[in-house]
Structure 1
């Protein structure tokens, strides 16, 4: 039977681990004329591209996977925000989800997101592709979002890699937020502006 000290130590370790995990993420914000758009990524995601200006802002990340080293395959996540008050933003958001395989994507609703699930070949490698759409990120700002996570089915993938990718995608989608009103810089925040 664990002693009170051991129980306290275990609780402290679990709490400490949870705090370390929570602080291992990086929160990113795109400041707009009507507020800010925020999302959180894992610290080990490589930024492949970041275009933070609306009417269509985009961020592209590569998620690490030891199984894809020295291959042409990779796990990637793309997030886009669309300003629906503009023709360019509306036109880009209205493009339907593309069907890659012979079967139409399966759809499901998760909170404010609609997720389209499909599998397709890229070269000789089968990929799972999850496309998500959210009609409004900030209630009255008229900003919508899409996100795509695509990962390869590789021999060297961890045993539960698919389950892990699903969980990471849902965690990511839950992090996407819109804040209305004048933006106020938070303590310890670093603001970087895109090159003009």
Structure 2
């Protein structure tokens, strides 16, 4: 039986979908200012007779082909959704400008109609922002689960081969010190990359 302690990691897309207020423009999503992914350490011989090992799961997610592909999918969806939100906001701003610049020469009925349209556009924008964020969160969760499903068998395979009792997850604040030779992250990355990609699960 494999025992993994504090196995946690994240897939980073960038800033969340902007939640603009009624009178403010949601800022365009800039490229994510991310810290460079940690590089795999130079291989150190695995200590003979050791019964435990550890992995840096964030390193595996950042460095493996599947982790990179998952992050790219997440970033692609975020880019598409952000562009859709920006288009809605541009339409809202156009209506606001029309009311501000031409309201004085419009009939009361036309002004009232335009104001109602602006209110509708504001509501639609807020709903679209929330829907976009939910869609992004759902994909992130799906990708994390897919990655975990691919990772666990590899960890179990290595655990059996090395006769390990436990594999710990470092990088989460739970490992104070360890022999670097116990770090099997590089081996996990190689095996993940060598494995045949799993077919994406069909949505019910």
Relative to the length of structure 2, the TM-score reads 0.24
Write 1 or 2 for the structure with the bigger share of strand.
1
Larger radius of gyration: 2
Question: Larger RCO: Structure 1 or Structure 2 (Cα < 8 Å, ≥ 6 residues apart)?
Answer: 2
Relative to the length of structure 1, the TM-score reads 0.25
Write 1 or 2 for the structure with the bigger share of helix.
2
